[in-house]
Amino acid sequence: FRAWRGLIEEYRDRLPVSETTPVVTLLEGGTPLIPARRVSRLTGCDVHLKVEGLNPTGSFKDRGMTVAISKAVEEGAKAVICASTGNTSASAAAYAVRAGLACAVLVPRGKIAMGKLAQALVHGARLLQVEGSFDDCLEMTRKLAENYPIALVNSVNPHRLQGQKTAAFEIVDALGDAPDVHCIPVGNAGNISAYWMGYKEYADDGVATRRPRMLGFQASGAAPLVGGAPVTHPQTIATAIRIGNPASWRLAEAARDESGGDIQAVTDRQIAAAYKLLAQEEGVFVELASAASVAGLLQAHKQGLLTPGQRVVCTVTGNGLKDPDWAISGAPSPMTIPVDAFAAASALELA
């Protein structure tokens, strides 16, 4: 047994670091690839979930952040900034603490899940709630990073995608080769681009014999890559991917086209159904945006895009605990009973 050392140490030779780069890590990565029995039965495929909610701050963002923050420290930054729908800000706040950097975050007011807000605040980030969208926040942070001594750690920072590509390495390392199909939620479009980079790199170096078809899924009210034009007022219950003008637009299109894949829309209703399916049939609690990958896989199955027996990986990007409000509002409200075992028995219909 050898303990996991965090993804920079595990994949050092494939990342933009040298012996002198100060490694800022919370031992992210090394997340489980869980067989999804129910989803496999529904699709006739061999489906696995890459459970990114088990990273240190509860989302895949930690992969990009360990590299981005390490490089920021190496380059002499004293402060970092990001725009976020919640997960990037949670991760930036935690890694900034680890590095001794100040951290500022801009979020769309009222549009981020409570757990994510809690994370940024508890780690001591300077959090500003902007009366606008994520896209507005990103534009503002780009301007701030241009004009003031503060380093941008959104995925327009290329170090972020370098870190995030390691998820594809882990999948190939676990399965022995690349899957046939990879399903992933798409918001600002950094992650689909990063996975494609990782899969290509492993195939180019002969570690994998093939590359998967990349299937990306946006929420239908926030699907600029599907419509081919920015969406001015994106709407979806999946606040993490409520984005109208993705920064990695071209890279995501390249991932789609080079892999023979597709980027499709799934409705909020499909997302909510997949969220419930994962929780109640697989025992995996993800956030709404994460369920878009599974909602999309079920849709692709209906469209006849899959061949029975194919190996499929769905990335589930964030932890369900991030958004307790949604989980509770969708469940029946619990009964209150007196201190009485018989009352419990009758409430549970045991008696």
Return the range that interacts with ligand F0G (CB under 6 A); candidates 94-102, 186-194, 202-210, 253-261.
Answer: 186-194
Q: According to CB under 6 A, which residues from 102 to 161 bind ligand F0G?
A: 155
Q: Are 121 and 94 in contact (CB under 8 A)?
A: no
Shortest Cβ 242–ligand F0G spacing (Å): 9
H/E element holding 127?
strand 126-130
One of 185, 198, 261, 320 touching ligand F0G (CB under 6 A): 185
Give me the 66-95 binding string for ligand F0G, x by CB under 6 A, dash otherwise. Answer: ------------------xxxxx-------
CA distance linking residue 190 with residue 165, whole number of Å: 10
Comparing CB distances to ligand F0G, the nearer of 66 and 188 is 188
Q: Does 59 bind ligand F0G (CB under 6 A)?
A: yes
Shortest Cβ 167–ligand F0G spacing (Å): 11
Q: Are 293 and 277 in contact (CB under 8 A)?
A: no
CA distance linking residue 333 with residue 111, whole number of Å: 24
Q: Does 226 bind ligand F0G (CB under 6 A)?
A: no
Return the range that interacts with ligand F0G (CB under 6 A); candidates 31-39, 184-192, 202-210, 277-285.
Answer: 184-192
CB atoms within 10 A of CB 349: 6
Q: 3-state DSSP call for residue 274? A: helix
Comparing CB distances to ligand F0G, the nearer of 25 and 315 is 315
Task: Give the list of residues 6+ apart from residue 249 with CB closer than 8 angstroms, or none.
Answer: 189, 224, 225
One of 15, 167, 178, 189 touching ligand F0G (CB under 6 A): 189
Task: Give the list of residues 6+ apart from residue 11 with CB closer than 8 angstroms, or none.
Answer: 166, 169
CA distance linking residue 255 with residue 164, whole number of Å: 15
Start-to-end CA span in the chain (Å): 49
Q: Does 43 bind ligand F0G (CB under 6 A)?
A: no
CA distance linking residue 99 with residue 260, whole number of Å: 40
CA distance linking residue 34 with residue 40, whole number of Å: 12
Return the range that interacts with ligand F0G (CB under 6 A); candidates 94-102, 182-190, 225-233, 261-269.
Answer: 182-190
Comparing CB distances to ligand F0G, the nearer of 292 and 337 is 292
Q: Which residue has the tokens 């979930």?
A: 49
Give me the 283-312 binding string for ligand F0G, x by CB under 6 A, dash otherwise. Answer: ----x-xx----------------------
Q: Interface with ligand F0G by CB under 6 A: which residues?
A: 59, 61, 84-88, 155, 185-191, 240-241, 287, 289-290, 317-318
